Amino acid sequence: MTAGSRYTTRLFLLLLAAVLSAGLLWSVAAAAAGSASPTPTPSGAGASPGAAKVVLKVGWSPDPDNLNPFVGVQQSSYELWHVSYDFLTNYGDQYLETQPGLAESWTSSPDGLTWTFKIRSGVMWSDGVPLTAKDIAFTYNWEIKLQLQAFLSALDGIESASAPDDATLVITCSRPKADILSMWCPILPEHIWSQFKTADDAKAFLNKPPIVGSGPFQVIEWQKGKYVRCVANKQYWGGVPKADEVFFQLYTNQDTLAQDLKLGTIDLAINIPPAQVAALKRDASLDSQACSAKAFDYLSFNCYKGPSLGNPVLRDVKFRQALNWGIDKNKMTELAYQGYADPGTSIFEVNFYDPNLDWHWQPPADVEYQFDPAKAKQLLADAGYKDTDGDGILNDPHNGDKNINLRLWSRVQSPQSQAMGKLIAGWWQALGLDINYSVEDESVLIDGGYNYVGDTFKPDYDIYIWSWAPSGSDPGRRLGYLRTDQIENQNDACWSNPTYDKLWQQQARELDQQKRKEIAYKMQQIIYEESPYITLTYPKLLEAWNTSRWQGWQRIPQPNGAVAFISDNVSNYYKVGPKAVTTTTSSSSGGTSTGLIVGVIIAALVVVGIVVLLLRRKPRVEEG
């Protein structure tokens, strides 16, 4: 071999080492880039080339029904309003206690009729317009003037609001207002909403993304039936969100939701199926919990005494009371929720509130409804409901002795409500009632409950199973649902009780919270006895979240609450962030494990080492 050929070989080996090393190191760089964010921006979400965004992906149901705060009713809609808009005061992490929000501090007059709030300076709406005390005063005065019912109960007792300057809000009350520091009422930008002069105009506003708000995130994209995309408000006064975006993905199949969490497609799963809780808990990268939640399942009876298309038998208190004895709530929690629920009694949950101020009223043992079909039959007979024509169906003596035929609806969107519906239909049929049970879309329940014939309100339903996840930690809002003046709005049972209405006014004025609690107990007792609702269960909120890539999760209220869908608190969305070192990344995100990166580096070093050894060998001397 000539000297020239030896130099050519050495040059070739050096080039080979350079190429292999460069290629392997490029793989390392690509792997590192793929691991920069726990969850890269979803396809089509508009990520900037070369800039990986930190995206928190949330799987949830149900689908938001409307982005207009005066129209939507779904809890997912409330969640979006709360991440989009600020409140006068916030709800804390421990017991949803009052904390500063847009208001940094406040004082009140000795009689409790005048409140003065110091409003934060420097807060901006997402379109760049400054948020001032004038926006807050506008929100309250405008909603009261237009009688926009969605948040009107929270504003009850406010006579007027004024803003002497940009940093001062003065609220004048017509009576002492017990809930003034816990009003669930999003603050709206005056320059957007002031154009609407009537309630109908305000409700007709679509509030299309991008929503102009001041909260920790801005809703910028909504594909109904698919997803909602929110971007971080980098100027948020409560702290810059650690995620650049929150991506809410709709799931209509709960098992698919759980599987996607396992695969890493999403980072947080809300409303996972009961059968998946234990399985997800065994995954070291996840935390899966049955969380205490501010929610209850209930039967709503059409009690309306005005023009109605419902069965008039449901107006009879004795008939509704009898039906209570024909429901086995323990069996429902076992079969519908696989034990992840508590049997319901009153409209406030068990094991949720501050032990020093527990709003849950528990009926005494001697008056609590139990499962006793024989007693239910006897109470129906005592009230005059008998099988007078011998066909096995009870007749209504107050309605021409017609057979009692009742429509019972559960919801397509809730497998648990369907399971409960089947059980209830069977139990009540055994009492001698003709139950026409069907599973309907939630829109059918809404249309039936708020049905109009021309301009006349005529609710067109008998009984349905739904659930409340009440917003606001103050009990007055929830107790206000069943007020007479909430018929055609939040009072879906269309029930009226003058004593109940008076008690609501009393609790609203009572500033001593312990005395107020006693009034709330009396109100719950009236609901329990008259049964416009039958509270069925207190379901646990089944959630699971990724702990291998994300840190900072906080269960709210502590220690047994949820991390999302809390309604009153959305702090996890902006406080949770990626871990400093990401050890694994899901295959769905296109990432590469740390182990692979290390392997690539080692491989590169091995290649270089081999070439160096070859180059150090002496050339063979030719004989000849």
CATH number at residue 186: 3.40.190.10
The per-residue pLDDT for 612 is 35
**Domain ends where: 175, 208, 241?**
208
pTM of the model: 0.76
Sheet strands (E) in 281-404: 286-291, 296-301, 341-343, 395-396, 402-403
Q: Tell whether 440 and 360 lie within a shared domain.
A: yes
Domain assignment present for 221: yes
Q: What is the mean pLDDT of residues 583-608?
A: 38
Output the domain CATH number for residue 390: 3.10.105.10
Of 562, 560, 543, the closest CA to residue 254 belongs to 543
Sheet strands (E) in 530-587: 533-539, 541-546, 550-551, 577-578
The per-residue pLDDT for 149 is 87
Supply the range of the domain harboring residue 611.
Answer: 3-35+592-616
Distance CA 15, CA 392 (A): 94
Q: What is the pLDDT of residues 476-525, one digit of tens each?
A: 989 999 999 999 989 999 999 999 999 999 999 999 999 999 999 999 99
Percent of the chain whose predicted confidence (pLDDT) is above 70: 85
Q: Tell whether 559 and 600 lie within a shared domain.
A: no
Q: Tell whether 435 and 326 lie within a shared domain.
A: yes
The per-residue pLDDT for 34 is 33
Confidence of residue 38 (pLDDT cuts 50, 70, 90): low
Q: What is the mean pLDDT of residues 323-339?
A: 96
pLDDT at residue 26 tops 50: no
- Ranking 41-45, 356-360, 478-482, 553-557 by mean pLDDT, the lowest is 41-45
Q: By the 8 A CB rule, do 551 and 523 touch?
A: no
Q: Tell whether 308 and 357 lie within a shared domain.
A: yes
Domain assignment present for 395: yes
**Domain ends where: 152, 174, 208?**
208
Q: What is the pLDDT of residues 372-381, one digit of tens each?
A: 999 999 999 9
Distance CA 337, CA 383 (A): 34
Length of the chain: 624
Kindly give the pairing relationship between strand 405-411 and strand 550-551.
Answer: unpaired
Domain assignment present for 237: yes
Domain assignment present for 158: yes
Domain assignment present for 601: yes
3-state secondary structure string across 375-388: HHHHHHHHCCCECC
Burial class (CB in 10 A: 0-12, 13-18, 19+), 458: middle
Count of domains forming the chain: 4
**Domain ends where: 208, 228, 253?**
208
pLDDT at residue 344 tops 50: yes
Domain assignment present for 587: no
The per-residue pLDDT for 52 is 86
Domain assignment present for 519: yes
Q: Tell whether 230 and 178 lie within a shared domain.
A: no
Q: Tell whether 187 and 198 lie within a shared domain.
A: yes
Q: Tell whether 134 and 17 lie within a shared domain.
A: no
The per-residue pLDDT for 469 is 85
Q: What is the mean pLDDT of residues 65-88?
A: 95
Q: Tell whether 335 and 419 lie within a shared domain.
A: yes
Of 199, 102, 90, the closest CA to residue 142 belongs to 199
Q: Tell whether 274 and 304 lie within a shared domain.
A: no
Q: Tell whether 15 and 142 lie within a shared domain.
A: no
Q: Tell whether 255 and 321 lie within a shared domain.
A: no
Domain assignment present for 103: yes
- Other Cβ atoms closer than 10 A to 538: 26
pLDDT at residue 330 tops 90: yes
Q: Tell whether 305 and 395 lie within a shared domain.
A: yes
- Ranking 348-352, 361-365, 494-498 by mean pLDDT, the lowest is 348-352
Q: What is the DSSP letter of 286?
A: E
Q: What is the pLDDT of residues 95-141, one digit of tens each?
A: 899 999 999 999 999 999 999 999 999 999 999 999 999 999 999 99
Q: What is the mean pLDDT of residues 288-311?
A: 96
